[in-house]
């Protein structure tokens, strides 16, 4: 092998070959390491495993065709006399050293990304590139970065030093090749990435019936670039559709309730009048949206570990929704559903999209009723475009940047601790009460997020782990409610505790349902009786359910329904993961995917495990109706706020 490598490295394009072998070897080792990390969760059958590695090799070669462009141009265009100069050997060795370190660094990054999310680089990694301050700070506080870098440098040296010692990195600088032939070979190599750009699409990967195998078949850098290109997806362009009139007609039936009347004869208008008997309740609302609080952390919801004794006690005094699902896997996705009451949009959340001002939101409804509406965030609200979205959709913004340093007792890179945020919330509620105004506060925490650090002495748990962060989250909520009970506005205030999304979304299927289940708790024993609700629902049902508790009559464009008015058999949930859009109903999950594909799963009731099957035709049509109509209204800016409450 070394004889062949020695001979090949003496070709004019020998440097390209050596780089290509390094690239493919590191890519293979990365894929194999991720497989070992995944273990039996992946499908270890010979055919699916061989398929994942074979297709993965194809994506590695495609990615390599892009990566070698600078080196190919160097060989094509640099004059032979200049290429033979001594300093060029140092430059070539340095190039291979730096590029190999970059490849090893990317490989290590994929390992940690897979550990956190169970996928190759995707749109989350793209966002990480944009918000470098928070992300670099998070990495620095979460991992022993210095030791990791030193280890990667050592691995780079192990790979490069032997190659340099035998001259494989520089033999090609002395090679002879006629100029015309050199240009011809280089031109052919440059055609490969052009053909790949036109012909290769990661969205057309085969369906392995196991998400881990599908992710293993990808190449991390290629997946990153693909996510960057497709950060926003138009539903009608990439997903299955039906005739628009049929889609809206089906959607009207799906969102209809016994207290709703459609107010327009336009078949493409879903606006309706929601009518409630009796007087409206002018209760205050404090909505505590907790970072990554999956139901499997809450013992009263079937979780383990005894991490949330305070929430467990609270659930016994509250309206608790036991079959409640997140619509996505990001904070902005939860914000989208909780405030807009829409299905998860493909691509980026509406919070991150352009033209997201003056939408029909829960905040705009409260604001129209004369409420003081505030978005409170313990971090810097420029992250994920939160401040812009909320300030242009019915809210006043209070975030870390708006607080003096004296109001922050503890913080990590993501934000101030929960106790600080809740103290700001109490102060805002006091101001509203003093001004004689009812209030609606949308509160967003960050403590239950890596690096999982929190004030010392609050809970008996170590820093830096998820279990400790959950224990602190539980403590801080109870402490907040204790302080709130001392306030004169407490008796007239509804407290909502809901997660923004699940803690981890990795699984064998595209939408691992057990990991999407989150808590929704509505509390105030002086206003509401304790109740357990088993109806299947998701975050987009929160807004109309809350307004139903307030007994409001209002015009609505919400896609969600008041869960408390539904029969349990009418429950359904909509959830997604960036490109895969799910519809869960009647024991089946329908998954819509680009490009115009779908899949079906039969769901085991107790465990929520999924078994692949053909989706029932009626449920497939319902799924298309929900997502096609929501996509049409949002993409065409037809989801604006209404003039009248």
pLDDT at position 365 over 90: yes
Distances in Å between the Cα of 350 and the Cα atoms of 236, 285, 289, 417 are 17, 24, 18, 27
Residues 223 and 283 in one domain: no
Q: In what helix (H) or strand (E) does residue 580 lie, and over which residues does it extend?
A: strand 580-585
In the block, residue with structure tokens 């979205």: 389
Pairing of strands 520-523, 319-321: antiparallel
Pair 591, 600: CB distance under 8 Å? yes
Among 79-83, 318-322, 399-403, the range scoring the smallest mean pLDDT is 79-83
Among 378-382, 494-498, 555-559, the range scoring the smallest mean pLDDT is 378-382
Higher model confidence: residue 113 or residue 7?
A: 113
Pairing of strands 324-325, 531-533: unpaired
CA–CA separation, 304 vs 430, rounded Å? 37
Q: What is the pLDDT of residue 486?
A: 97
CA dihedral 271, 274, 275, 281 (to 10 degrees): -140
**What is the full DSSP assignment across 543-566?**
HHHHHHHTT--EEE--S---GGGS
Q: Which two tokens stand for residue 156?
A: 């780079």
CA–CA separation, 446 vs 468, rounded Å? 14
The dihedral built from the CA positions of residue 411, 415, 419 and 421, taken in this order, carries a sign that is positive
Within a domain: residue 530?
Answer: no
Residue 3's pLDDT band (boundaries 50, 70, 90)? low
Greatest mean pLDDT range, 111-115, 347-351, 641-645: 347-351
Average pLDDT over residues 427-451: 96
Residues 59 and 93 in one domain: yes
Within a domain: residue 276?
Answer: yes
Higher model confidence: residue 591 or residue 229?
A: 591
pLDDT at position 80 over 60: yes
Q: What is the pLDDT of residue 328?
A: 92
CA–CA separation, 119 vs 330, rounded Å? 14
For residue 288, the cross-strand partners are 443, 497
pLDDT at position 231 over 80: no
CA–CA separation, 74 vs 199, rounded Å? 26
Q: Compute the half-sphere exposure of residue 217: CA atoms within 13 Å on the CB side of its CA.
A: 24
Q: What is the pLDDT of residue 144?
A: 85
Average pLDDT over residues 368-392: 95
CA dihedral 36, 41, 47, 51 (to 10 degrees): -70
Q: What is the pLDDT of residue 198?
A: 80
CA–CA separation, 33 vs 616, rounded Å? 38
Pairing of strands 537-538, 554-556: unpaired
CA–CA separation, 341 vs 350, rounded Å? 11
Global pTM reads 0.82
Residue 305 has a CB neighbour count (10 Å cut-off) of 12
Pair 363, 390: CB distance under 8 Å? yes
Q: What is the pLDDT of residue 304?
A: 83
What is the distance, to the nearest Å, from the Cα of residue 604 to the centroid of all Cα atoms in its chain? 25
Q: What is the pLDDT of residue 644?
A: 60
Pair 262, 272: CB distance under 8 Å? yes
Within a domain: residue 543?
Answer: no
Higher model confidence: residue 141 or residue 262?
A: 262
Residue 168 has a CB neighbour count (10 Å cut-off) of 23
Give me Rg for the CA atoms of the chain: 28
Residues 65 and 196 in one domain: yes
Residue 372's pLDDT band (boundaries 50, 70, 90)? very high
CA–CA separation, 476 vs 447, rounded Å? 10
Q: Which long-range contacts (CB under 8 A, 24 or more apart) does 432-436 make?
A: 432/284, 432/372, 432/489, 433/487, 433/488, 433/489, 435/372
Residues 221 and 248 in one domain: no
Average pLDDT over residues 287-305: 93
Residues 206 and 260 in one domain: no
Pairing of strands 588-593, 573-577: unpaired
Residues above pLDDT 70, as percent of the chain: 94
Q: What is the pLDDT of residue 131?
A: 55
Residues 323 and 265 in one domain: yes
Q: Considering its fold, how many domains does the chain have in total?
A: 2
pLDDT digits (tens, 9 = 90+) for 429-440: 999 999 999 999
Q: What is the pLDDT of residue 345?
A: 87
Residue 341: give the domain boundaries: 244-525+549-635
Domain end residue (candidates: 166, 197, 229)? 229
Nearest CA-CA partner of 626 in 251, 237, 240? 251
Nearest CA-CA partner of 361 in 348, 373, 352, 344? 373
DSSP 169: T
Residues 219 and 282 in one domain: no
Q: Which two tokens stand for residue 369?
A: 């009723």
pLDDT digits (tens, 9 = 90+) for 232-243: 678 888 899 999
Within a domain: residue 642?
Answer: no
Domain end residue (candidates: 229, 258, 274)? 229
pLDDT digits (tens, 9 = 90+) for 121-166: 776 666 666 555 556 666 777 778 889 999 999 999 999 999 888 8
Within a domain: residue 236?
Answer: no
Q: Compute the half-sphere exposure of residue 519: CA atoms within 13 Å on the CB side of its CA.
A: 32
Domain end residue (candidates: 229, 258, 281)? 229
Nearest CA-CA partner of 585 in 535, 512, 511, 521? 535
CA–CA separation, 440 vs 371, rounded Å? 6
Within a domain: residue 296?
Answer: yes
Q: What is the pLDDT of residue 503?
A: 66
pLDDT at position 92 over 90: no
SS3 55: helix
Residues 436 and 575 in one domain: yes
pLDDT digits (tens, 9 = 90+) for 484-511: 999 999 999 999 999 999 866 666 677 8
Q: Which two tokens stand for residue 106?
A: 């990317």
Residues 212 and 265 in one domain: no
Q: Compute the half-sphere exposure of residue 430: CA atoms within 13 Å on the CB side of its CA.
A: 11
pLDDT at position 415 over 60: yes
Question: In whole numbers, what is the pLDDT of the chain averaged over residues?
Answer: 90
Residues 498 and 426 in one domain: yes
Higher model confidence: residue 462 or residue 225?
A: 462
Distances in Å between the Cα of 263 and the Cα atoms of 186, 256, 266, 271 are 65, 12, 9, 6
Q: What is the pLDDT of residue 438?
A: 98
Q: Which two tokens stand for residue 530?
A: 């304790």
Burial class (CB in 10 A: 0-12, 13-18, 19+), 117: middle
Q: What is the pLDDT of residue 346?
A: 87
Residues 169 and 295 in one domain: no
Q: What is the pLDDT of residue 525?
A: 93
pLDDT at position 549 over 90: yes
Q: What is the pLDDT of residue 127?
A: 63
Q: Which two tokens stand for residue 617?
A: 């035709």
Within a domain: residue 367?
Answer: yes
State the Cα angle at 447 between 322 and 408, rounded to 5°.
135
Average pLDDT over residues 363-380: 96
pLDDT at position 466 over 70: yes
Residue 270's pLDDT band (boundaries 50, 70, 90)? very high
Residues above pLDDT 90, as percent of the chain: 63
Within a domain: residue 213?
Answer: yes
For residue 591, the cross-strand partners are 582, 599
Residues 179 and 263 in one domain: no
Q: Residue 512 is part of a domain; what is its CATH number? A: 3.40.720.10
Burial 365-403 (b: 16+ CB within 10 A, else e): bbbbbebbbbbbbbbbbebbbbbbbbeebbbbbbbbeeb
Q: In what helix (H) or strand (E) does residue 7 lie, and over which residues does it extend?
A: helix 2-8
CA–CA separation, 298 vs 309, rounded Å? 8
């Amino acid at each position: 092998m070394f004889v062949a490598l020695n001979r090949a490295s003496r070709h004019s394009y020998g440097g390209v070959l050596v780089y290509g072998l390094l690239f493919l070897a590191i890519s293979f080792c990365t894929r194999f390491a991720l497989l070992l990390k995944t273990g039996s969760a992946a499908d270890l059958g010979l055919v699916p495993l061989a398929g994942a590695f074979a297709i993965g090799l194809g994506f590695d070669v495609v990615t390599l065709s892009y990566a070698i462009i600078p080196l190919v141009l160097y060989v094509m265009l640099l004059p032979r006399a200049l290429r033979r100069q001594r300093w060029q050997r140092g430059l070539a060795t340095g190039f291979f050293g730096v590029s190999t370190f970059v490849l090893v660094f990317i490989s290590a990054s994929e390992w940690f990304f897979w550990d956190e999310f169970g996928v190759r680089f995707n749109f989350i990694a793209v966002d990480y590139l944009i918000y470098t301050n928070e992300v670099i700070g998070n990495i620095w506080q979460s991992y022993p970065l210095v030791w990791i870098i030193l280890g990667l440098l050592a691995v780079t040296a192990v790979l490069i030093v032997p190659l340099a010692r035998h001259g494989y990195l520089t033999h090609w600088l002395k090679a002879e090749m006629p100029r015309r032939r050199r240009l011809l070979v280089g031109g052919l190599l440059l055609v490969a990435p052009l053909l790949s750009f036109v012909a290769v699409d990661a969205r057309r990967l085969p369906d392995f019936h196991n998400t881990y195998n599908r992710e293993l078949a990808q190449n991390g850098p290629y997946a990153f670039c693909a996510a960057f290109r497709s950060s926003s997806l138009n539903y009608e362009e990439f997903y299955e559709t039906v005739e628009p009139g049929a889609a809206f007609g089906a959607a009207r039936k799906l969102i209809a309730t016994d207290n709703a009347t459609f107010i327009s004869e336009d078949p493409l208008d879903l606006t309706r009048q929601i009518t409630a008997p009796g007087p409206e309740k002018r209760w205050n609302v404090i909505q505590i949206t907790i970072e990554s609080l999956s139901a499997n952390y809450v013992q009263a919801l079937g979780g383990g570990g005894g991490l949330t004794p305070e929430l467990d006690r609270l659930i016994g005094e509250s309206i608790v929704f036991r079959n409640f699902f997140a619509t996505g896997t990001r904070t902005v996705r939860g914000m989208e559903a909780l405030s807009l009451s829409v299905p998860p949009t493909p691509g980026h959340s509406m919070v991150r999209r352009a033209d997201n001002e003056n939408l029909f939101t829960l905040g705009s409804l409260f604001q129209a009723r004369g409420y003081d509406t505030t978005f409170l965030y313990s971090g810097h609200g420029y992250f994920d475009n939160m401040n812009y979205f909320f300030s242009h959709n019915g809210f006043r913004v209070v975030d870390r940047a708006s607080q003096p340093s004296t109001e922050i007792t503890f913080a990590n890179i993501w934000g101030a601790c929960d106790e600080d945020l809740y103290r700001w919330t109490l102060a805002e509620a006091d101001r509203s009460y003093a001004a004689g105004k009812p209030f609606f506060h949308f509160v967003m925490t960050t403590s239950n997020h890596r690096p999982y650090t929190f004030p010392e002495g609050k809970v008996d748990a170590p820093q830096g782990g998820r279990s400790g962060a959950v224990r602190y989250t539980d403590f801080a909520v109870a402490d907040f409610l204790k302080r709130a009970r001392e306030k004169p506005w407490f008796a007239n205030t509804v407290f909502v505790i809901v997660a923004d999304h699940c803690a981890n979304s990795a699984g064998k299927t595209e939408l691992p349902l057990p990991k999407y289940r989150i808590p929704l708790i509505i509390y105030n024993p002086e206003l509401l009786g304790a109740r357990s609700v088993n109806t299947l629902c998701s975050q987009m049902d929160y807004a109309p359910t809350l307004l139903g508790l307030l007994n409001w009559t209002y015009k609505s464009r919400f896609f969600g329904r008041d869960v408390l008015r539904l029969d349990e058999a009418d429950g359904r949930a909509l959830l997604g993961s960036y490109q895969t859009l799910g519809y869960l109903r009647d024991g089946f999950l329908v998954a819509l995917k680009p490009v115009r594909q779908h899949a079906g799963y039969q769901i085991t009731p107790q465990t929520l495990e999924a078994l692949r099957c053909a989706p029932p035709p009626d449920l497939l049509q319902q799924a298309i109706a929900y997502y096609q109509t929501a996509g049409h209204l949002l993409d065409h800016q037809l989801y604006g706020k209404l003039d009248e409450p």
